Amino acid sequence: MPRHVTHVPLRWADMDAFAHVNNVVYLRYLQEARVDMLFVHAPRHGAEQLAEGVVVARHEVGYRAPLQFRAGAVRVETWVSAIGNASFTLGYEVLDVNGDGERVVYAVASTVLVPYDLEDARPRRVSDEERLVLESFLETDGPLPGRSAA
């Protein structure tokens, strides 16, 4: 299945004292990619409710290489790695594709999202309509953020 691709422009203020994009900033890049996929693109394909309310239950981010600050955007590829009854999981890679087509991966991440009924203020099940849209992005064998090891 094709991954959803978002180009997230870096901001000067994303840079830390080591001239790298600071580790805390990556969650903002993932948020941009997620909002772009779920709020901008998914509703066009019939899953309006996804845009109305999902709650972040969990993030994992595995850092692979430092992202030196430079002008321009970084590529974020997003897919659906799992679909449960009352939650689903996104996978992401933050990367550059250089001139030779080589992929330089800065981070691999995942987010567990819970559909939420804003009126009743409680979690709800993934609807059949949403499941169809999410399945169109399903990639169950994508990379994982990595072990929790020490």
**CA-to-CA distance for 91 and 144, rounded, in angstroms?**
7
DSSP 41: I
Q: What are phi and psi of 86, to 5 degrees?
A: -130, 20
- Strand partners for 77: 5, 93
Using CB under 8 A as the binding rule, whether residue 119 contacts its own copies is answered as no
Q: Among residues 80, 70, 89, 96, which one has the least CA distance to residue 7?
A: 96
Sign of the four-CA dihedral 41, 43, 47, 50 = positive
Per CB under 8 A, which region of 42-50, 96-104, 141-149 contacts its own copies? 141-149
Using CB under 8 A as the binding rule, whether residue 15 contacts its own copies is answered as yes
Using CB under 8 A as the binding rule, whether residue 137 contacts its own copies is answered as no
Binding mask 19-58 for its own copies (x = CB under 8 A): x--xxx--xx--xx--xx--xx--------------xxxx
Residue closer to its own copies by CB (options 38, 95) is 38
| Residues at the contact surface with its own copies, assessed by CB under 8 A | 8-9, 11-13, 15-19, 22-24, 27-28, 31-32, 35-36, 39-40, 55-63, 69, 71, 81-84, 87-89, 110, 112, 145-146, 148-150
